[in-house]
Amino acid sequence: MDKGEEDRLSALPDDILRRILHRVNSKEAASTSVLSRRWASLWRSSGAVDLAARIPYEILSSHHQEAFSHAAAAALAAAEVPVTRLALSVDTDGGNDTVLRRFIHGGRNEMYSTSTDEGVFRDVLSHPAARHVEDLRVALVDTFDAVRFSGMEIYGSIGICCFASLPSRETLRVLDLTRCDLAPAAFPRLATLHLRLCSMQLTDLHALLDAAPVLTDVHLESVLFTYTIQQHVEVEPPELAMRLPSVTTLVLALCGVLGQGTPHGQFDTSCAIAIDAPRLRSFVYKGLLHPFQLRSASPELARADLHFLKDDSASYSKERTRMLFWQSVQSFSGAKALTLKVDHELKEIAAIGKERRAQLLCPLPNVERLELEGWHRPTSTTAAVAIANLLHCCHALRDLTLKLSTVPPDSEKGSNYAWESLRKDLLDYSRSIDRFRRRSSRISMEDSNNGVRYHDVQDISGMSGESFACLQRSLRRVSMEFRLDHSSSTCIGLRLVKFFAENAMALEEMRIDSGNWRLYEHLNLSGERWIARENPAAEVQCEFSTVPSVPFDSTTDLGRSTIGFTVLPLQRRKRMRCMS
């Protein structure tokens, strides 16, 4: 930073300084009044009120609540212009909701009762200065929320307060709520809607979306949609239908649908999702496989990221999983980039046999980038069928990323297992390094006893012998992550490497991360041979960079040393380079 004598900041015009203060929280903004006379009252016209309370667990007293209310009242009273940005946040780290409930509702609703009002926020929201708010953000955050609520669709009401009426219905453009429920409302100018960890009636959501003609950005994360079940009346489960005529970005993550009215409610995992968003550019979905439909063509769709969770409780037929997966993928046939992550075993989505392929597969003519992340049993090669299915669909694929694992994501072995396997990897790595160092002086193009010989790696059923349009013309780049298993010659990852090296005619680069370090000593020699066989004239150069020393006995460095081993770039016709 320049150490000039000049005060460039104070020299800026008032409206620029207000624009800066607009982004600073209210306490810091107000305290700028002591900087100099120039700053005495600028903060009063910044148009923002931004207050945060941090409550350490077990230290909450009514004192915290009073201080927050007092600061909010003072900041609002000081406002000399209408407040357009109002941000309120409360952070704690209790791991249960008691602290937040007590902060918001005082002595009331202390433990398990449902919250029905704004609590400590009521006076703030009903203040006359807050009548023209355009950007409203309220967040009640517990550090443990990320762990408590990730990984499954939400199935219970968890809002801590409920906004019955918001002050600036007509002016609101950005609404961002975390752990706050929203009563029926309509915001005609709403452009951005972010809801996290809250619940609302399905009919209210439909009404809210229908009343927001300029909405462009919708982000619903762990939102529970409820509907009323009439007792003794058989009704079809409702549809999570969203009409979003102007929305360009949509995130739908871990949202659940719950029927209310019966004593225990009815958590509905079969609820259909239907989205009508003709201007959609970017879509993110995380949740179970639901019947899914994109009602209108979205010609501007650039990318879709879909992460399907596995529903262990439901006794769906395997055909249903397969059908729902391909139906969902088909909806995004217009996307340029498609990211698929499945918690199911990959063979569960594989369309095996001519009849199924004809029934399920559809062309994905626009997909240029495809990423598939999933797991398979070490001995099963049916995963390759799923990969082949996708290659068949994507005629214009340029860039393929495969992330293959042999451990299901919800493995009950849990972290201990991961720890054990990591330690084993480190030991393997150490032995492998020793071997490598011992023989590094005589690396040659000759087959090595330790290396995998070309002919040892088996062809891959479901792929070898098939013809794929994208392999003939478009596929330029392949990235793969997999774990090298004990029998290298049958390892699906290695077989895929071989397959792409031999069959992808336009391939320029292959990146490989084998997860457990040992690949470099095997792959380089054999990979060289595979490519060399296809291109006898190719100039192949092999480089090994210095292998980092890993403290095997130390546990503190594990985080840093868990990085996989990467071969990059492995360039056909040019050279191979090996780094770790």
197-226 binders of other proteins (CB under 8 A) = 197, 217, 219, 221-222
Minimum separation from the CB atom of position 504 to other proteins (A): 26
* Alpha-carbon gap, residue 285 to 282, rounded angstroms: 10
Which residues, in sequence order, are CB contacts of 208 under 8 Å at separation 6+? 182, 184, 185, 186, 187, 193, 200
* Alpha-carbon gap, residue 256 to 313, rounded angstroms: 15
Confirm if 241 and 225 have CB atoms less than 8 A apart: no
Residue 25 or 430 having the CB closest to other proteins = 25
- Mask 101-130, x = binds other proteins (CB under 8 A)? ------------------------------
Q: Which of residues 285-344 bind other proteins (CB under 8 A)?
A: 286, 302-303, 305
Across the beta sheet with 239-243, what order do the strands follow? 239-243, 272-276, 292-294
Q: Can you tell me which of 76, 161, 190, 191 binds other proteins, judged by CB under 8 A?
A: 191
- Mask 243-262, x = binds other proteins (CB under 8 A)? ------xxx-x---------
Q: Can you tell me which of 131, 137, 395, 453 binds other proteins, judged by CB under 8 A?
A: 137
- Chain centroid to Cα 242, Å, comes to 21
Q: Can you tell me which of 1, 111, 233, 537 binds other proteins, judged by CB under 8 A?
A: 1
Region binding other proteins by CB under 8 A among candidate stretches 137-145, 260-268, 340-348, 464-472? 137-145
Minimum separation from the CB atom of position 10 to other proteins (A): 6
What are the helix and strand counts (H, E) for the chain? 15, 22
For 325, left (φ over 0), alpha (ψ -120 to 50), or beta? alpha
Confirm if 367 and 398 have CB atoms less than 8 A apart: no
Minimum separation from the CB atom of position 31 to other proteins (A): 5
Q: Is 21 in the site for other proteins (CB under 8 A)?
A: yes
Please tell me the count of residues contacting other proteins according to CB under 8 A: 77
Q: Is 349 in the site for other proteins (CB under 8 A)?
A: no
Minimum separation from the CB atom of position 49 to other proteins (A): 12
Q: Can you tell me which of 5, 236, 312, 539 binds other proteins, judged by CB under 8 A?
A: 5
Which among 214, 134, 207 has a CA at the least distance from the CA of 174? 134
Q: Which of residues 416-435 bind other proteins (CB under 8 A)?
A: none
Residue 223 or 391 having the CB closest to other proteins = 223
Q: Is 23 in the site for other proteins (CB under 8 A)?
A: yes
Q: Is 284 in the site for other proteins (CB under 8 A)?
A: yes
Q: Can you tell me which of 97, 118, 135, 311 binds other proteins, judged by CB under 8 A?
A: 135
Q: Is 74 in the site for other proteins (CB under 8 A)?
A: yes
Identity at 457, one-letter amino acid code: V
Tell me if residue 479 falls in helix, strand or coil. Answer: strand
Q: Rounded to the nearest 5°, which phi and psi values hold at 417?
A: -65, -45
Confirm if 324 and 313 have CB atoms less than 8 A apart: no
Q: Is 168 in the site for other proteins (CB under 8 A)?
A: no
Q: Which of residues 142-161 bind other proteins (CB under 8 A)?
A: 145-146, 149
Q: Is 26 in the site for other proteins (CB under 8 A)?
A: yes
* Residues β-bridged to residue 303: 282, 337
Region binding other proteins by CB under 8 A among candidate stretches 230-238, 275-283, 362-370, 453-461? 275-283
Region binding other proteins by CB under 8 A among candidate stretches 4-12, 315-323, 488-496, 537-545? 4-12
Which residues, in sequence order, are CB contacts of 99 under 8 Å at separation 6+? 55, 57, 60, 92, 142
Minimum separation from the CB atom of position 413 to other proteins (A): 24
CA angle 47, 50, 56 (to 5 degrees): 170
Q: Can you tell me which of 49, 83, 87, 306 binds other proteins, judged by CB under 8 A?
A: 87
Residue 194 or 435 having the CB closest to other proteins = 194
Kindly state the tokens that stand for 295. Answer: 């009602």
Q: Is 236 in the site for other proteins (CB under 8 A)?
A: no
Sign of CA dihedral 297, 206, 311, 376: positive
Residue 577 vs residues 497, 525, 573: alpha-carbon distances, Å: 16, 12, 12
Confirm if 161 and 121 have CB atoms less than 8 A apart: yes
Minimum separation from the CB atom of position 109 to other proteins (A): 22
Q: Rounded to the nearest 5°, which phi and psi values hold at 290?
A: -110, 160
Q: Can you tell me which of 92, 178, 321, 488 binds other proteins, judged by CB under 8 A?
A: 178
Q: Is 40 in the site for other proteins (CB under 8 A)?
A: yes
Q: Can you tell me which of 47, 49, 64, 334 binds other proteins, judged by CB under 8 A?
A: 64
Which residues, in sequence order, are CB contacts of 462 under 8 Å at separation 6+? 350, 381, 382, 384, 385, 388
Residue 112 vs residues 43, 98, 237, 266: alpha-carbon distances, Å: 40, 9, 28, 20
Confirm if 173 and 189 have CB atoms less than 8 A apart: yes
Residue 128 or 151 having the CB closest to other proteins = 151
Residue 153 or 221 having the CB closest to other proteins = 221
Q: Is 483 in the site for other proteins (CB under 8 A)?
A: no
